[in-house]
Amino acid sequence: MTDERGRLDGAAPASGAAPAHDDPPGGDEPLESPLHLEEELFEAPAQLEREVTSDQVSLTRRLRQPRTIISLILPVVLLVLVFKVVLSIDFAELVDAVLAANKWLLLAAFAVYYLGFPLRGYRWVLLLRGSGIRIRVVDGTHIIFLSWLVNCLVPAKLGDVYRAYLLKQNAPVSLSRTFGTVFIERILDLLVIAILGLGAGFWSFRTGLPPSMQFVVALGVGVMIALALGLLTMRNYGRRILVRLPLPSRIVELYDRFEEGVFGSIGVRALPRLLVITVLIWMTEALRLYFVVQALGFPDVELGLSGAAFVALVGSLLTAVPLSPAGLGIVELGVVGVLTAAYGVPLQEATTIALVDRMISVLSIIALGGVAYVVSPVRRGRGIPCIETAPESAPAGAPPA
């Protein structure tokens, strides 16, 4: 039988295909691969996982749908109308401010933002490794970058689904377990955003919290409490609740795999490292906005690193609203609102800061991600080196393997 460890240096089997077996000398029956045994044990869930087809997550197909086109065009039109008609923004002055900006500091904002992608790739690789899936950091980063392109073009956070699908198409892994790692990654993001945002907010407003920001702080506290309660319920009662519901057994089995991805990927020993990486990831977002503010050099804008962190993290939280791609329209208005209400930034300057920041965080992803999408072998399911092993921990209440 082909040595599974060798797959890290060679091509992965095609999605859905059983691993190849070599007949041993002497005519003995070939040894069963752990992956093959898993497919037999979970035959019904595996069939359900294969029901996710390329057409369902095809970016080209989604971009041709009227709903996607509307979700891209309508927020842009409304945003222009709000800025131009309601807020009376002078776009000629905005363009002049951008042209006069310090290009080196804008380049620094661009560079520090893209430094976050290998960090995200490394974090996802660690989560996958905890759930029994081993891939290279470069492949994890590549898949994440393509998924961000999808999130920038399609609403409803389809990029997260696309990420799990791409890994499934290029490696013999469990789709539901992969979804579990994406889910816990989002939980880590929300938790760190809430903690960093509260810390930056309290430091930035240490002389007194403006009434307009009290709701944001309360929202951050509420997010942390909701996440803690949700994870506690899932860990201790999730499977118990499902088995008491009139659901097909394959749904429960799929949930077991999903929970393996959620909790198996985040062991006690790995948690400190994952939290540190997540903090570094979101500090790249804060530094991006900080460099944008410094590059524009508005004399009446005083926004330190703590203020930039607070505003950037509020904007990141707003991207979770699934009404438009990458929170288009919602994030811009939210960032402008926080800059003007909390930090007293004039409306014209606040709009310029928000739009330049979004040019780096969204438009550059569309431009560079579009090129990567066209040339990517991963998009075509060519395969990546991968090993799937038993997860490090089993779901609470799950039957023994």
Strand partners, 386: 135
Residue 246 lies in a domain: yes
Handedness of CA 73, 98, 319, 288 (dihedral sign): positive
Q: 184-222, pLDDT tens digit by residue?
A: 898 889 889 888 888 888 887 776 667 766 677 777 777
Q: ∠ CA 307-310-315 to the nearest 5 degrees?
A: 125
Residue 59: the pLDDT is: 64
Residue 4 lies in a domain: no
- pLDDT class of 75 with cuts at 50, 70, 90: confident
How would DSSP label each residue in 164-218? HHHHHHHSS--HHHHHHHHHHHHHHHHHHHHHHHHHHHHHHTTT---HHHHHHHH
Residue 263 lies in a domain: yes
Residue 6 lies in a domain: no
Instruction: Name the 3-class secondary structure at 133.
Output: strand
Residue 98 lies in a domain: yes
Total length of the chain: 401
Q: 291-306, pLDDT tens digit by residue?
A: 999 999 999 888 889 8
Residue 41 lies in a domain: no
Name the domain count of the chain: 1
Q: How far is CA 136 from the centre of its chain?
A: 18
Residue 110 lies in a domain: yes
Show the domain range for 248. 54-388
Residue 277 lies in a domain: yes
Q: 348-365, pLDDT tens digit by residue?
A: 999 999 999 999 999 999
Q: Write phi, then psi, for 51 (nearest 5 degrees).
A: -70, -15
Asked whether the beta carbons of 168 and 178 are under 8 A apart, the reply is yes
